[in-house]
Amino acid sequence: MQVRELRVPGALELTPRQHGDARGAFLEWFTEASFEEAVGHRLNLAQANASVSAAGVLRGIHFAEVPPSQAKYVTCVKGAVLDVVVDIRVGSPTYGQWDTVLLDDVDRRVIYLPEGLGHAFMSLEDGSTVVYLCSAPYAPGREHGVHPLDPAIGIEWPTTGRDGSPLTPQLSPKDAEAPTLDEARQQGILPGYDEVQAFLATLDA
């Protein structure tokens, strides 16, 4: 498993080794040992999710309150998505910055987002299927969002799909009504950098 740290500290891109032949391919997209070596603690697996999206569907930017928030270990088993991590931790040296990883059914990369970060992705092909391992269960009262098209964040979303056809962002009503990053900060719903670091320290102990 090759590991690369993203521009948002704590977030990682992981590329598994694939073993292929005329029948297809086999890979280990998660192992406890390689995860713990890369991150420094075990993944507390509490829930596994899957989403299927048409081309252009844009999900996010989603995050959960800390503690316990929700760490995510994400890959795309069919199709392709541009996956984005956003630093929404107030007081972070990289606050407001973002980075991307192409998740697809060719390289089969994985992105790991620790607690306290924002997560979003855009589907680049009909039927793109994303699976997530999550460290905490979904808790509606603790889940929040930031508008993925907030110009102050400036995420460079794709304008063409995997087949070269034009993409139009498709947002859920909830995501379309989400506050900008500045509005979310004023509302006091963003996690603080220090509280996130304190929580992560309990995982490393």
The catalytic residue among 62, 119, 144, 147 is 62
95 catalytically annotated: no
Residue among 73, 112, 119, 132 flagged as catalytic = 132
| Residue 75 contacts residue 29 (beta carbons within 8 Å) | yes
User: Is 132 annotated as catalytic?
Assistant: yes
Sequential DSSP letters for the chain: -EEEE-SSTT-EEEEPPEEEETTEEEE-S--HHHHHHHHSS-----EEEEEEE-TTBEEEEEEE-TTT---EEEEEEESEEEEEEE---BT-TTTT-EEEEEEETTT--EEEE-TT-EEEEEESSTTEEEEEEESS---GGGEEE--TT-TTT-----SB-TTS-B---B--HHHHTPPPHHHHHHHT-SPBHHHHHHHHHHHH-
For the annotated catalytic residues, the residue numbers are 62, 132
